[in-house]
Each structure stands twice: as structure tokens, then as C-alpha cells.
Chain A
Amino acid sequence: MKYMLIMRSTEEAIAASKDMPFEEMINKMGAYNESLIKAGVMLAGEGLADVSEDANFVVDFSEEPPVISDGPYGETHELFNGFWIIQVSSKEEAIEWASRCPLGPGVKLEVRRVTEAADFADFADNEYIKKEEGWRAEEEQLRARNG
């Protein structure tokens, strides 16, 4: 089963983290990531750049063409700040790994199951569903070959 661990932080938590020595956070997270990799469950993991950066933007689909604006600002009470995708054998295993994440007060992990081919079984004959199986199989083989 695949799970996505979605890290959400309140504004207070984000502000507080700016006071923490950054290298300490890197070390804690690095150790956690290392344990995920060594256990063979880590599929992906990324952190997101600070919301204040100019690089970020919001695409709003309530109009056509969609509206692009700076942000996100203000509207979000618990900002999505980063994620992991892990592959585990059960919900309980996902709970164990998520519980070990070195996060503090004001931060939550929203853990959602990632859909897989079986979720689209009703559309198994669809051209793109079939193509997607192929893309994923290729990616797995590349991973396996390159270690």
C-alpha cells in the first residue's frame, strides 16, 4: 500500500521553526529519512520552499482561463509544507512510520492512501490507464536496475 504523509503547519509553528537552529532540524529530519530509506519504505519525499518566496503562486480554476496570483497567503490555516510517499504493508505500518516523524506542536501529518492501479480496475481497458501501468512498470524497472 502507498501512503502520502502530508505535513501541515500552523503559522505559529512556521514562525517558531524560524527560531530553531536550522541545522538541528536538518539532522533530525535526515535521521528520519535515513530510517525510512534503510527500511525500504521511502518512495519520495520533498520539502516545500517558504511561502513568502516569489517563486510560489496559486492557480484558481473558478474562471477560464484559470487565474494566476501570488501566494498562498492568509487563506491557509495549516499550510502544506512537505510530504513523503512511503510503501508499506498495512495501515498500522504507516501509522508507526508517521508517528516517528520528528515534528513538533502546531504541525500535523495528514496521511492519505495513494491510489494504485487496483483503484481503477473498472477502467482497466482505458487507453491512458493502460499507458500508466506501462509508465509505472518502466519506472520500477529503472529503479531496480539502478539500485
Chain B
Amino acid sequence: MPESSAAEGIRRRLDALWRIEGARIVASLARATRDVGLAEDLAQEAVADALAQWPESGVPANPGAWLTAVAKRKAIDAWRRAERLDEHYRELGRGLAEATETAWQPVDDDVLRLVFIACHPVLSREAQLALTLRIVGGLTTEDIARLFLVSVPTVQQRIVRAKRTLAAARVPFEPRNRTNGASGSKRSWPWCTCCSPRGTPPPPGTSGSDRTSPTRRCGSAESSPGWFRANPRPTPWWH
């Protein structure tokens, strides 16, 4: 069935909203659920709900808060079903009570934690890149496939495997102390070459010429053509 023009407009607006707010939404969900893979899945389900409901109900005044609240509700439902209600429900209940439309205050630190998790040393470089571009950069798997000249299923596999690896390794939603990473082995904490915040110095031992200098977050190829033209294969600093 062809999409109505209202639905098409909503979809385009959701794409734009996701690009701008997506990482913060996933990050605040990950803070509540302590599971980055689950957070991303829930956020995507909330987006699907928005696509279904907003053409009728209209776009809410604070779309980011709406998506976060819906995703948190889904998390509660899932946990009820899994009968692990007590500890998580308390935390989420607290979170939901705070998350009124006007009171949503995403914590930028949460996005930073997300970056550290997506770049965790337990993941291969391909997995780190795919996961970071997906959940921090908000790129679609099609965008990522095009950038790295691989197929879409390959990117999907990398992301699925990355999430499984993180879950299996029980990676916590808290950043490691950065100084731990700087001492010793080359496979210590990698500096995320895609998304390191501007002005934040790289760990000791990094030379200026090794560090690709991210001037922007990982937008789509259309929004950061210059960065990707200059750095088609970002090289982590330890190589």
C-alpha cells in the first residue's frame, strides 16, 4: 500500500529527528536498562510506533521525550513478561515518573558512555565502527554499507554480533577510567576515531599524525562529505 503523503512527511521528519536526537534517546534508555543492544531495539520499536500513531495523533511537542517514554514502557512490559520485575521496575518507575514531556533532560554524559561502549576493546574494529555509526551517529545500515563498500546484510550481521558480544561480556553502562586504557597493551581502551568530542585530548602515547581529527559527529555521507572524503577508512590510534 503506498504511503500517504502525511505518513511520508512524518517518516521524513522522524528520520531527521532520529539523526539529531537518536543517540541521546538510546543513551538515556541504556542508562535505565543497562543494556545498549536492548536500548537500541526498544528505541527502534518506539520509532515504529511513532510512524504508526503520529499521522493520526499529530507529532508531539517534545518528540524525543515521547519516544523515550514509549520505549521505557516497552522495557517494563518486556521485563514483566520475563518475571524480573522488582529491581528493574523500581528503576524504570522512577525514570518514568521523572520523564514528563517538559522534564526530559538528556544527560550528555550518557552519550559519552554510549561511545565508550560502542568502542569497547572486546569488539573487533569493524564491529566498533558499525555499532558506533549506527547507535551514536544515527546512520542507517544502508548508509554504513555504502560507506564501507560492503553489503547491507554484512553490516546488519556486524551490529547483531557486536551487541551479542557486549551482552556476553557483560559490558556495563559505565565508562572505564580512561587512565586504565592508556597504560600498557595496545588493545587497551581505544580512542573512538569517529566520535571523540572536540577538544578532548587523546590518551598519552598518541601522536598527532596518527589521530584522525573528527571535526563532526558521524553524520551521513551527505552531511559530512568532507570528513569522509578526507578519511575514507578511519584508523584507530593504536595502529
Contact = CB atoms under 8 A, between A and B. Distances in A.
A96 B16 contact: yes
A88 B213 contact: no
A52 to B, nearest CB: 37
Contact of A147 (B215, B219, B226): B215
Interface in B13-33: 13, 15-17, 19-20
Interface in A73-123: 87-93, 95-97
A51 interface: no
Q: Chain A at the B interface: mostly helix, strand, loop or mixed? A: helix
Contacts of A87: 219, 223-224
B227 A38 contact: no
B12 A92 contact: yes
A140 B16 contact: no
Nearest to A139: B226
A144 B15 contact: no
Given A40-B217, A90-B12, A90-B15, A1 B222 contact: yes
Contacts of A143: 215, 226
A89 B213 contact: no
Interface string A125-147: 00000000000010011011111
Given A140-B229, A143-B226, A144-B226, A39 B12 contact: no
Nearest to A144: B230
A95 B19 CA distance: 13
A40 B226 contact: no
Interface in B174-231: 198, 213-220, 222-224, 226-227, 229-231
B127 to A, nearest CB: 23
Contacts of B16: 88-90, 92-93, 95-96
A147 B19 CA distance: 22
B223 A147 contact: no
A93 B213 contact: no
A14 interface: no
Q: Pick the most buried of B15, B16, B220, B231: most chain A CB atoms within 10 A of its CB.
A: B16
A40 B20 contact: no
B226 A97 contact: no
Interface of A: 1, 37-41, 87-93, 95-97, 137, 140-141, 143-147
Given A87-B224, A88-B223, A141-B230, 14 more contacts: A1-B222, A40-B216, A40-B218, A41-B223, A89-B16, A89-B219, A91-B12, A92-B13, A92-B15, A92-B16, A96-B17, A140-B226, A140-B229, A147-B198
